[in-house]
Amino acid sequence: MARNARVELLYPFAAPPAFESFTEVAPGVRWLRFPLPFALNHINLYLLDDGDGWALVDTGIKSDISFDLWERHFGTTLDGKPITRLIGTHFHPDHIGCAQFLTERWKPEFLTNRTEWLTGASLQSETSASGPAQFWGDYYRGAGLDEETLAAVAHRGENYAARVGRMPRPFTHVAEGDVLSIGGRVWRAIIGTGHSPALICLYCEAEKLFISSDQVLPGISPNISVGATEPTGDPLSDFLESCQRLKALDPETYVLPMHGRPFYRLHERLDELMRHHDERLAVTLEAAKEPITIVELLPILFKRELDFQQMQFAVGEAMAHANHLVTRGDLSRIAEPGKPILYRAR
């Protein structure tokens, strides 16, 4: 994810809650923060007061640290009430990693989008022995990685299952426009795309509250990546379209994101995100006047040193920009078996 905070957003809270504590961000809406073992070192979760129980939005990554933290919250933050509904916004491990743990413990209704459920369930069934190492090898070779780095990523396999419990079943499908009544508030589901296939955002129009999950984040640009399963995909088209659609929300909307802090100035942030991608697209197009590989694009698009995990994100993001330019008809994608893919301006 790229840092690009040029627009001054308004943050009602100067600091996040401590991991074992919470902050009430609106009446009956409790903001929790859980740690992550990545450069992006935290995720926000939201507990919505639902009268006799709580509706929880997202869960934290599967780890003993998360489980221990949940045990502490069960005894304090829940005010003695059960979690009766669990909403998984999308299939990424930091969002639904503890879903199995929480559903076994509280037996809540589990709500998510069907496409997200299927994506997560499918990735869970994969092990490095079942083939994905091959896909990832082809993918990174296509991106132009050298043989040494390829050897390192070849053993990567699919590490999704390690960070996620079993996808809970049964689940309740949440689709665009569905309405959830939680504690007297009416939340309408808005399905975002680009970061994941069908990410659930929740909008309470009466109070202009918007749980954006990873669709709109402050400070960092949501990761928009092409992966090994669908290397010709164009998730950036989907993301930019979602940004446009979200501009229909009230400009005074209070945004509750899953990373960073709650903020105001949604429209300015959406404009900034779209501008950020426009700039990246222009740089990519300029660089591809001569045929170029994804790996050759990285130092042009990312000015900072990338660690191994960031390099993997960066490859996916660079490919998302290049593929979008292919969709727009600005670039050709030249793919020959066993060779790095070349992108060239038309």
Q: Which residue is at the shortest CB distance from Zn ion? A: 92
> What number of chain residues touch Zn ion (CB under 5 A)?
2
- Residue number with CB closer to Zn ion (49 or 214): 214
Closest distance to Zn ion from the beta carbon of 184 (Å): 29
Q: E strand or H helix at 191, and its extent?
A: strand 185-192
Cβ(201)–Cβ(245) below 8 Å: no
**Which residues within the stretch 88-107 sit at the binding site for Zn ion (CB under 5 A)?**
92
- Residue number with CB closer to Zn ion (120 or 340): 120
Closest distance to Zn ion from the beta carbon of 258 (Å): 7
Q: CB within 8 A of 56, min separation 6: which ones?
A: 45, 46, 47, 48, 83, 85, 86, 87, 102, 108
Closest distance to Zn ion from the beta carbon of 328 (Å): 25
Cβ(323)–Cβ(343) below 8 Å: no
- The region of 207-215, 285-293, 305-313, 331-339 touching Zn ion under the rule CB under 5 A is 207-215
232: closest CA among 325, 330, 124, 345?
Answer: 325
Closest distance to Zn ion from the beta carbon of 222 (Å): 7
Closest distance to Zn ion from the beta carbon of 281 (Å): 22
Q: Which amino acid is at 18?
A: A
Q: What one-character DSSP code corresponds to residue 185?
A: E
Q: How far is 331 from 325, CA to CA, in rounded Å?
A: 5
- Residue number with CB closer to Zn ion (101 or 313): 313
- Residue number with CB closer to Zn ion (126 or 214): 214
Q: How far is 25 from 282, CA to CA, in rounded Å?
A: 39
- Residue number with CB closer to Zn ion (73 or 92): 92
Q: How far is 301 from 311, CA to CA, in rounded Å?
A: 12
Q: Which amino acid is at 176?
A: E
Q: How far is 214 from 201, CA to CA, in rounded Å?
A: 9
- Residue number with CB closer to Zn ion (94 or 296): 94
Q: How far is 138 from 145, CA to CA, in rounded Å?
A: 10
Sign (positive or negative) of CA dihedral 227, 231, 234, 236: positive
Cβ(276)–Cβ(8) below 8 Å: no
- The region of 49-57, 156-164, 176-184, 213-221 touching Zn ion under the rule CB under 5 A is 213-221
Residue 158 binds to Zn ion (criterion: CB under 5 A): no
- The region of 45-53, 146-154, 208-216, 292-300 touching Zn ion under the rule CB under 5 A is 208-216
280: closest CA among 321, 219, 323, 329?
Answer: 321
Closest distance to Zn ion from the beta carbon of 290 (Å): 34
**Which residues within the stretch 276-335 sit at the binding site for Zn ion (CB under 5 A)?**
none
**Which residues within the stretch 260-279 sit at the binding site for Zn ion (CB under 5 A)?**
none
Q: How far is 35 from 67, CA to CA, in rounded Å?
A: 11
Closest distance to Zn ion from the beta carbon of 224 (Å): 11
**Which residues within the stretch 12-71 sit at the binding site for Zn ion (CB under 5 A)?**
none
Phi, psi (degrees; rounded to nearest 5) at 202: -125, 130
Residue 214 binds to Zn ion (criterion: CB under 5 A): yes
Residue 259 binds to Zn ion (criterion: CB under 5 A): no
- Residue number with CB closer to Zn ion (313 or 343): 313
Closest distance to Zn ion from the beta carbon of 90 (Å): 6
Q: Could you list the residues that contact Zn ion (CB under 5 A)?
A: 92, 214
